[in-house]
Amino acid sequence: MNFWKNRKVFITGASGLLGSSMVEELLSKGAIVTCLVRDWVHGSKLLESDYLSRCNIVRGDLIDYDVLLRGINEYEIDTVFHLGAQTIVGTASRSPISTFEANIKGTWNLLEACRQCPTLVERVLVASSDKAYGSHNNLPYTEETPLVGRFPYDVSKSCTDLIAMSYFHTYRTPVAVTRCGNLFGAGDLNFNRLIPGTIKSAFENESPIIRSDGQFIRDYFYVADAVDAYLALAEKLPEESFIGQDFNFGTETPLSVVELVERILTTMGKTNLVPDILNQASHEIREQYLDCTKAKRMLNWKPKRGFEEGLKQTVDWYTNWLASENN
Helices vs. strands in the chain: H and E counts, helices first: 11, 13
Q: Please identify which of the residues 51, 141, 153, 220 carries the catalytic annotation.
A: 153
Give whole-number Cα distances, 78 to 130, 178, 233, 302, in Å. Answer: 27, 19, 15, 26
Comparing CA positions, the residue from 124, 299, 310, 314 lying closest to residue 219 is 310
Per-position b or e across 238-267, b if 16+ CB within 10 A of its CB: beeebbbbbbbbbbbebbbbbebbbbbbeb
**Which of 92, 128, 121 shows the shortest CA–CA distance to 107?**
128
Q: What SS3 class is residue 18?
A: helix
State how far the Cα of 246 lies from the Cα of 66, in Å rounded to an integer: 28
- 153 as an active site residue: the answer is yes
Name the nearest CA neighbour of 165 among 182, 183, 178.
Answer: 178
Give the H or E element holding residue 265. helix 257-267
Task: Determine the 3-state secondary structure of 179 from DSSP.
Answer: strand
Query: Which amino acids are annotated catalytic?
Result: 153
